[in-house]
Structure 1
Amino acid sequence: MSSDPLRTADLTVIGQITTASNATLVCEAEDLRVVYKPVRGERPLWDFPDGTLAGREVASYLVSDALGWGVIPETVLRDGPYGPGMVQRWIDIVEDGQGPDLVDLVPVGQVPEGFREVLRALDPSGHQVSLIHADDPRLHRMAVLDVLINNADRKGGHALEGLDGRVYGVDHGICLHGEPKLRTVLWGWAGEPIADELLTDITVLVKALPGELGERLAELITDSEIEALESRARALLEDPVLPMPTSSRPIPWPAF
């Protein structure tokens, strides 16, 4: 038996997530279920020419881990049946069907207690709906992480409520660009202060970047992207407020 199956066990493919835009395979690694995204299955993006999407997934995990937030499931870069790729622990999620999901659509005027309205739009049938997300500190922490890693693709389906009571974010292949690219469905706290305990963790992150963390990130993203990460972190410390949308496309499409 391997001491750490996530990193060393043989991967046995048991399925594929067909809704993903890049090759996304569900595998067993001994008694552990994982998601495996081989580099060879990536569709190149003109605005992310450096490194790999798999590498950016791992780099995003390293940032989350350095913060101590545990938002992103443990993620490594390793070999698999289709070559090198990202391997991430599978998250078993809550599926009780009671009430809205963490991020959801509801009819306009029917935002439930404990949720925030992000915007109003028309559904495919022409009915007015509100895009909402839970007013949940676990999700708020994810929103702060997205600002730090400059997440260009925080869809509603990328926020998962685990059976362990934690909220996880997945799909971080287009993060950590040097230029502003934040696109997220989690705008409900825009313009509001960031909690002191999160700022303490961000301070720890800034101090860690010149050391081992920066060295590990340098294997995955460019030096200028690491510098941009540090700049975003320092900017939040200097002005500890979640930003307002500034682009014409602040939400990814599709939103789920």
Structure 2
Amino acid sequence: MPAPERVPSRSLTATELVTFLAEGRLTVRGRIRGASNAVLYCTVAHEGEEVTCVYKPVAGERPLWDFPDGTLAQREVAAYEISEATGWGLIPPTVLRDGPYGEGMCQLWIETAAEDNGPDGPDADGRPPLLALVEDEEPGEGWKAVAFAETEEGGRALLVHADDPRLRRLAVLDAVINNGDRKGGHLLPASDGRLYGIDHGVTFNADDKLRTLLWGWAGEPLTAEAVEVVDRLGAALAPGTALVTRLAELITAAEIAALRGRVEALRVSGKHPEPSGEWPSIPWPPV
């Protein structure tokens, strides 16, 4: 039997990739170290073709005090569904499926443009970094301030992120899904210029859990594009819609109600949310 042909993800639509990931033969190739939960690097073969992916089995999830056990994989899929509903495509195609270690989340692997540099270094095409630490008291042109941080030498530096429309879309998505863990390492600049967010297991809590490095637009008006997306999401989350039916398979009714509430709050305020002060606003470690 000939080996499957490796296909670049850009040759398939998101819908085709979802089918590919859900129905293909999943083979574990290795484990990604450093993650708090089990993260496996895999290939998935389907109809003579093959793509690479990440598989996170539910059995490998570490219990959390503020999220029900065994629900992180479903939350990752729910985040993908919301991302697709925005039309922005900010999260790689993601499915819930059975695998070698039981049910888990399976997500397309994204080849980044900055394998060696990370989000705080220029990508292969020389684009500026997404995050940086600067010694100035104010961010320079093209940057947004997040918070002051203590350096290893005991000094103080200002953490900034790029004033980048791709990041701004992610900031809106995070506010909608109540992302409790938007770290720098969860930002993947792809070689085609797109930016993806990954690791959305701690999302959709009914309580405010928003923790992110993307606070630079806090309190500022949403862009016209974001206002349109928020309005569209509000309609898509009306009771009985296809999106709500799908989300009901993944998160609780109370969490869906809270999701509607966050979207409505964005619609009414027309602004990016600000830290509540009742919960740490920046994840740890931040990268």
Give the equivalent residue in structure 1 for 2:243: 213
Contact 1:133/1:186 (8 A) holds in 2: yes
C-alpha distance in 2, partners of 1:27/1:35? 6
Structure with more contact order per residue of length (Cα contacts < 8 Å, sep ≥ 6): 1
Q: Deviations over 1:145-198 (max 9, x none)?
A: 110001011111111111111111000000001111111010000110101222
Amino acid paired to 2:193: G
**TM-score between the two structures when normalised by the length of structure 2:** 0.84
C-alpha distance in 1, partners of 2:194/2:112? 10
Give the equivalent residue in structure 2 for 1:19: 34
Sort the Cα spacing of 1:41 and 1:182 in 2 relative to 1 into closer, same or farther, 3 A: same
Contact 1:161/1:168 (8 A) holds in 2: yes
**TM-score between the two structures when normalised by the length of structure 1:** 0.94
C-alpha distance in 2, partners of 1:103/1:160? 12
C-alpha distance in 2, partners of 1:239/1:51? 34
Query: 1:111 Cα shift?
Result: 4.8
- Which of 139, 143, 146 is the equivalent residue of 2:174? 146
C-alpha distance in 2, partners of 1:131/1:153? 17
Query: 1:15 Cα shift?
Result: 2.1
Query: 1:119 Cα shift?
Result: 1.1
Runs of 5+ consecutive residues of structure 1 not aligned to the other structure: none
Q: Deviations over 1:59-88 (max 9, x none)?
A: 011011111111111110001111110001
Query: 1:100 Cα shift?
Result: 5.6
Give the equivalent residue in structure 2 for 1:174: 202
C-alpha distance in 1, partners of 2:69/2:82? 18
Contact 2:59/2:70 (8 A) holds in 1: no
C-alpha distance in 1, partners of 2:43/2:162? 32
Following superposition of structure 1 onto structure 2, how do residues 176-215 of structure 1 map, counting pairs within 5 Å?
176-209=204-237, 210=239, 211-215=241-245
Contact 1:51/1:220 (8 A) holds in 2: no
Give the equivalent residue in structure 1 for 2:13: none
- Which of 232, 241, 244 is the equivalent residue of 2:274? 244
Give the equivalent residue in structure 2 for 1:122: 150
C-alpha distance in 2, partners of 1:110/1:180? 29
Answering whether residue 63 of structure 2 is matched by residue 44 of structure 1, we say yes
- Which of 242, 253, 256 is the equivalent residue of 2:284? 253
Q: CA RMSD in A?
A: 1.9
Query: 1:44 Cα shift?
Result: 1.2
Query: 1:137 Cα shift?
Result: 0.5
Contact 1:71/1:168 (8 A) holds in 2: yes
C-alpha distance in 2, partners of 1:106/1:89? 34
The range that moved more, 99-108 or 112-121, is 99-108
Contact 1:103/1:157 (8 A) holds in 2: no
Give the equivalent residue in structure 2 for 1:226: 256
The DSSP-based 3-state class of the residue aligned with 1:88 is strand
Contact 2:61/2:70 (8 A) holds in 1: no
C-alpha distance in 1, partners of 2:199/2:83? 13
Runs of 5+ consecutive residues of structure 2 not aligned to the other structure: 5-15
Query: 1:123 Cα shift?
Result: 1.9
The DSSP-based 3-state class of the residue aligned with 2:218 is coil
